[in-house]
Amino acid sequence: MNHKERELLKTEITVKTAHIKNLGNWLRNSVLVLLISGTLGYWGLSGIQDRFLPDVTGPGRIAVGWIGSIIGVLALLFAVLVYVAIHNGRKHVLELINTLKGVKK
């Protein structure tokens, strides 16, 4: 491996590591959306009464529950996909580092 190929590989490792960190932010945000929408879904569909929660009854509350539940399921699917992407990305970066060091399997 010549010097130019090594520098390109180092650049690729740096870029992929930055992308993995960005995916970590997406994972955090999708889990946050999952928690908020799950809470709204539970509140809307369970019918619990609490003095701290707004006293909304009827179709509005059920609609909020269903919308929260649907968004929660979508956020869960997105979080799983992002987690798999992070996992596979880390494995790929480690393979690139091993290639750079000259380690063979």
Q: What is the mean pLDDT of residues 36-47?
A: 91
pLDDT surpassing 70 at residue 104: no
Give the span between the Cα atoms of 34 and 29, in whole angstroms. Answer: 9
Query: What global pTM score does this model have?
Result: 0.83
Binned at pLDDT 50, 70 and 90, residue 2 comes out as confident
Q: Report whether 34 contacts 75 (CB < 8 A).
A: yes
Q: Which two tokens stand for residue 35?
A: 């928690």
Residues of the chain above pLDDT 90, percent: 69
Domain count along the chain: 1
Secondary structure of residue 24 in the 3-state scheme: helix
**Mean pLDDT of all residues belonging to the chain:** 91
Range of the domain at 61: 3-101
Give the span between the Cα atoms of 88 and 54, in whole angstroms. Answer: 44
Binned at pLDDT 50, 70 and 90, residue 13 comes out as very high
